[in-house]
Structure 1
Amino acid sequence: MDDELTNWAVHTAEAELGGSLPRRWAHSQGVAARAAELRTVLGDDAHLLRAAAVLHDVGYAPRLAATGFHPLDGARFLRDVHEADERLVRLVANHSFALLEAEERGLRNALEVEFPLVEDQLLVDALVWCDMTTTPDGEPTTAKERVAEIVGRYGADSLVGRFIRRASPEIFAAVARVEAALSAQPR
């Protein structure tokens, strides 16, 4: 069942992003590769994390971009079209502190009501770590470099720039918690 979830997630993400947004697809594959590094930390939830990692940006697909806010658009697609696992959908909806960006966009209430936060902090942090330590081209990076890249790409005063600067202390804290959990694993 867990391999089925991962395989379905990869196929779905590739179908939506592979042709229309190849760079976003490369990023999603890189995020999923990072998720594979956390198998020993997450145990039974490792497949769920890998599925959420490869699907986290599916809402960028042009045909899915109803609101223009990819976490919400992607989560609605996964829920409404695929009837995907609720925790998976909620992880996609809330990845990388999406509530803060939703607030900037006037969509916080919609996101909170439709997709409450996943309560497993390590799982939430793990998805942040995967996303925020992967470049747009799918290569590993540091969270500080990734935040700087996002600010540089969008501009410090843009909606995304304001969001990422506001979220950066939370992003860095989540990344630090995951890195502590990784370093605590036996080698």
Structure 2
Amino acid sequence: MTTVGCAYELAEALLGESLPRRWAHTQGVASRARSLAPVMGDRANDLEAAAVLHDIGYSPPLVGTGFHPLDGARHLRTLNEVDDRVVRLVANHSFALLEAEERGLRSELADEFPLLDEPLLVDALVYCDMTTTPDGGCTTSEERVGEILGRYGADSIVGRFIRRAAPEIHASVGRVRAAADEVGLVL
């Protein structure tokens, strides 16, 4: 099992100084993950660890392909402290397969890091990432998709990906909200 404390240390070391805004986003995503603990039960630590590690692939020393989910997951799998479930969550966070397809990396991502067959856990990481602003604040998935489109442009690789992924992102957020409602958690 990946320890959450180890995940925070690693992410802060990789993002804190070189990419402070990305680190602020990461901390916000992790905070959202902690808030879902009543929904996630025994998977809460895996969600929080994946949330705090999801963007480490942006760290300059880790950039290989330029596709942060793949670059981050490749680094994580070399570390004994990070278990396979967390690595696969990082690799596939927020519908990364769709962006990998835009980048010509779909088969690499899918072959190296198969998507977990744990829909609520996968949805929960989408919820955490896609309801957190670049500065770590709370937002809606609609506003987040709009912000990403505005930042990258509709015709960019990321813009094309996010337009394709938007319906799935919103559906994931809806499923997590429904699961939270079932346990009486107000999001």
TM-score of the aligned structures, taking structure 2 as reference length: 0.97
1:16 aligns with 2:17: no
- 1:32-91: CA deviation from partner (whole Å, max 9, x where unpaired): 000011001000000000000000000000110010000000000000245620000000
- In structure 2, the partner of 1:178 is 176
- 1:132-166: CA deviation from partner (whole Å, max 9, x where unpaired): 00000000000000000000000001000000000
Aligned partners of 2:94 and 2:125 also within 8 Å: yes
Pairing partner for 1:146 from 141, 144, 151: 144
Deviation at 1:184, TM superposition (A): 1.4
- In structure 2, the partner of 1:125 is 123
* Percent identity (aligned): 68
Aligned partners of 2:123 and 2:176 also within 8 Å: yes
Aligned partners of 2:69 and 2:92 also within 8 Å: yes
- In structure 2, the partner of 1:86 is 84
Moved more, 177-186 or 27-36: 177-186
1:1-187, aligned counterparts within 5 Å? 5-82=3-80, 84-186=82-184
TM-score of the aligned structures, taking structure 1 as reference length: 0.97
Deviation at 1:186, TM superposition (A): 3.0
Q: Which runs of 5+ in 2 are unaligned?
A: none
Aligned partners of 2:6 and 2:81 also within 8 Å: no
Distance in 2 (CA, whole Å) between partners of 1:132 and 1:164 is 11
What is the letter of the counterpart of residue 106 of structure 2? R
SS of the aligned residue for 1:29 comes to helix
Distance in 2 (CA, whole Å) between partners of 1:94 and 1:170 is 13
Distance in 2 (CA, whole Å) between partners of 1:65 and 1:51 is 20
Q: Which runs of 5+ in 1 are unaligned?
A: none
Distance in 2 (CA, whole Å) between partners of 1:141 and 1:154 is 18
Distance in 2 (CA, whole Å) between partners of 1:48 and 1:84 is 10
Aligned partners of 2:37 and 2:44 also within 8 Å: yes
